[in-house]
C-alpha cells in the first residue's frame, strides 16, 4: 500500500483523528450500523489510531473479528494501547501493510477504506488486491474527504473500481465526504 510521504497522515497528528468533535460529525455507529453483523470478518484499511476499529469490534459482539491494517507501525501502536487488557483484544487483529500492498492472507465480508484511498498512488493495484480479498457479495465502503479529493478525482477512482468488476450499490451520506458503497460482482 505504497504512499507518497507528503500525502500520508503522520502519526504525530493522530490525536486529531480520534476526538469527540469528530465522533459527533462522523459517528462510527451511525455510519456502519447497516453493514456490520455478528460473525463477520472485517478489514479496517488505513485504520489510523483505531477510531473505527474499536467501534467495529464492539458492533461485532462476541463473534467475528476486525483486522486493523495500516502502513505505519505508530498508528498500530496507538490501537494496541487502546485495546490492551480489554475484551476487544480478542476481536481485533493488527496488520502492518507492506509498502506496495495490503498483504493480508484472508478474505473479508466488509472492508472500510475511510479517508485513505487518496493516499495510495496506485489505485489500479489497490483495487485489484481489494477485489481478491473481498468475499463474493462482500461490501467495500470508500469514504474520501471533500477537502482532499475533487469530484473529478473521485469519479476517476470509481471508474477504476468498475474495471475490477465492483458494482456500485449506494452512496451513503457522511459529513463533508464523498462516498461509494461497492459490492464484489461474482
Which domains, ranges and CATH numbers included, belong to the chain?
A: 11-184 (3.40.50.150)
Q: How confident is the model at residue 9 (pLDDT cuts 50, 70, 90)?
A: confident
Mean pLDDT, the chain, whole residue set: 91
71 Cα distance to chain centroid: 12
Q: How long, in residues, is the chain?
A: 186
Q: How far apart are CA 51 and CA 39, in angstroms?
A: 21
Q: Give the C-alpha separation, 29 to 115, whole Å.
A: 17
Question: Which of these, 156, 75, 175, 168, lies nearest to 117 by C-alpha position?
Answer: 156
In the prediction, which pLDDT does 166 show? 97
pLDDT at 10 over 90: no
Contact 121, 2 (CB under 8 A): yes
Please give the average per-residue pLDDT across 98-102, as a whole number: 92
Residue 12 to residue 175: CA distance in whole angstroms: 24
What is the mean predicted confidence (pLDDT) over 24-33? 91
| pTM as predicted | 0.92
pLDDT score, position 117:
96
Residue-wise pLDDT tens digits, 41-77: 999 999 999 999 999 999 998 899 999 999 999 999 9
Amino acid at each position: 500500500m505504497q504512499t507518497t510521504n507528503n500525502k500520508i497522515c503522520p502519526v504525530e497528528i493522530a490525536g486529531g483523528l480520534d476526538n469527540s468533535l469528530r465522533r459527533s460529525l462522523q459517528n462510527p455507529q451511525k455510519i456502519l450500523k447497516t453493514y456490520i453483523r455478528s460473525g463477520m470478518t472485517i478489514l479496517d484499511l488505513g485504520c489510523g489510531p483505531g477510531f473505527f476499529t474499536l467501534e467495529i469490534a464492539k458492533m461485532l459482539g462476541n463473534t467475528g473479528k476486525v483486522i486493523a491494517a495500516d502502513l505505519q507501525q505508530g498508528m498500530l501502536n496507538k490501537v494496541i494501547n487502546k485495546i490492551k487488557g480489554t475484551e476487544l483484544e480478542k476481536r481485533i487483529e493488527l496488520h502492518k501493510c507492506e509498502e506496495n500492498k495490503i498483504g493480508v492472507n484472508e478474505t473479508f465480508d466488509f472492508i472500510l477504506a475511510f479517508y485513505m484511498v487518496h493516499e495510495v498512488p496506485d489505485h489500479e493495484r489497490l483495487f485489484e488486491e481489494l477485489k481478491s480479498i473481498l468475499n463474493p457479495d462482500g461490501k467495500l465502503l470508500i469514504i474520501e474527504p471533500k477537502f482532499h479529493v475533487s469530484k473529478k478525482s473521485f469519479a476517476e477512482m470509481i471508474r477504476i473500481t468498475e474495471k475490477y468488476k465492483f458494482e456500485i450499490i449506494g452512496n451513503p451520506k457522511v459529513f463533508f465526504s464523498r462516498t461509494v458503497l461497492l459490492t464484489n460482482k461474482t
